[in-house]
Structure 1
Amino acid sequence: MKKILYFAALLLTMTFATSCEKEEIGGTATEALAGDWYVTIDAADENGNVVEGLEDPFGLGRIHVATFNTAANTADKLYVTDFGDFWGFKVRTNSDVNALTFSTAGAVANESYDCNVTITDGKILPKAGKQNNGSAADSIVFYVSFDDDPYPAAYGYAKYKVSGVRYSGLEEND
């Protein structure tokens, strides 16, 4: 009888130990590119140089941008959105996870806003940025233009340079 109780207790203990094991949760196909970012937007010339006097031309300061995977969760597609804080775009771009790059040409801004958006030279640069508290952070940079934008022709620039750092979650970096 003691042996039966001993084996029952051992079996019960093993059952509990096995049921408490955690399963590994995998990331998305674009995990290396995906993130929340605090960025600034500057007017840039054809070569990507910020035009003097047109830094932050709309006085937006830092805004929130996000990059994230598509529903298909493939490594060659990535969404980029400004949450309506700048031009009101959410576009699907081509991406290269190994090179940490993304771009698109003539993508429609979103379902309710018919504007073609071009994103070029999109890059994620690991640990190349600095947070407000001085700590290293991943950096993002890309150039964006809109086919309904009258400002570049009127003020002598070609596109917008969007650059910033990954959101850290720390209030001191906001």
Structure 2
Amino acid sequence: MKLKYTLLLTLFLSLGFLTSCDDDDEEEIAYTATYPISGDWSVTFSIETAPGQFEPLVEHTEVLIYNTAANVPTEVWIDDEGHFWDFKVRTPININNLTFGGENLENMSYNSQVTVTDGQVFLNAVEVNNIMRDSIYFRVSFSDDEEPFGTIYHVYGHRSTGFE
């Protein structure tokens, strides 16, 4: 008799665990207030050598754009994690237009200023690995850029896919 109750109890507990896992499949993904500007972006940094002609300096690197601690739809962090220049700046965004940028932004990586202009995210604009991905473009310049002073770097790419 004791064995019968033990088996029934085990059966009920097992069914309880199985049904609790099914609820996870129905949940929606929760995005921050800065999505779709925020994300992990695979980008190329280049300079313009002649009108309309660009020379890549660093290709297939990463830039992170993420919400601030306040999680408001008016500002983001742009962070290259030292992949190109070692900059991390907080910049204003317009979430409705998917634009971003600012002048003389304080670089949190070290004492300098960064200017980000013409920042724009384009939804489903480029095909990567047979999947339509969001695209990004912005210009960036650095106060401590010595040669040549005032160089404007063009940054363009797509939302990272997780593949090489």
TM-score, with normalisation over the residues of structure 2? 0.77
User: Number of paired residues?
Assistant: 144
1:160 alignment counterpart: 153
Structure 2, unaligned runs of 5 or more: 1-11
Q: CA deviation at 1:152?
A: 3.1
Report the aligned-residue RMSD.
Answer: 2.5
1:42 alignment counterpart: 46
Q: Residues 90-129 of structure 1 correspond to what in structure 2 (within 5 A)? A: 90-110=88-108, 112-129=109-126
Q: Residues 53-92 of structure 1 correspond to what in structure 2 (within 5 A)? A: 55-56=55-56, 58=57, 60-92=58-90
Taking structure 1 as reference, are residues 114 and 148 closer, same or farther at Cα in structure 2, changes over 3 Å only? same
- Check the 8 A contact 1:44/1:158 in 2, yes or no: no
Q: CA deviation at 1:31?
A: 1.6
- Check the 8 A contact 2:145/2:151 in 1, yes or no: no
- Check the 8 A contact 2:103/2:115 in 1, yes or no: yes
The whole-number CA distance in structure 2 between the counterparts of 1:119 and 1:161 is: 10
The whole-number CA distance in structure 1 between the counterparts of 2:48 and 2:112 is: 20
- Check the 8 A contact 1:129/1:164 in 2, yes or no: no
Taking structure 1 as reference, are residues 38 and 24 closer, same or farther at Cα in structure 2, changes over 3 Å only? closer
SS in 1 for 2:148: helix
2:35 alignment counterpart: 31
Q: CA deviation at 1:49?
A: 5.1
1:145 alignment counterpart: 141
The whole-number CA distance in structure 1 between the counterparts of 2:42 and 2:155 is: 10
Taking structure 1 as reference, are residues 152 and 136 closer, same or farther at Cα in structure 2, changes over 3 Å only? farther
Structure 1, unaligned runs of 5 or more: 1-11
The whole-number CA distance in structure 1 between the counterparts of 2:65 and 2:29 is: 20
Percentage identity across paired residues of the two chains: 38
Taking structure 1 as reference, are residues 68 and 49 closer, same or farther at Cα in structure 2, changes over 3 Å only? farther
User: Which of the pair is proportionally richer in strand?
Assistant: 2
- Check the 8 A contact 1:76/1:97 in 2, yes or no: yes
- Check the 8 A contact 1:130/1:165 in 2, yes or no: no
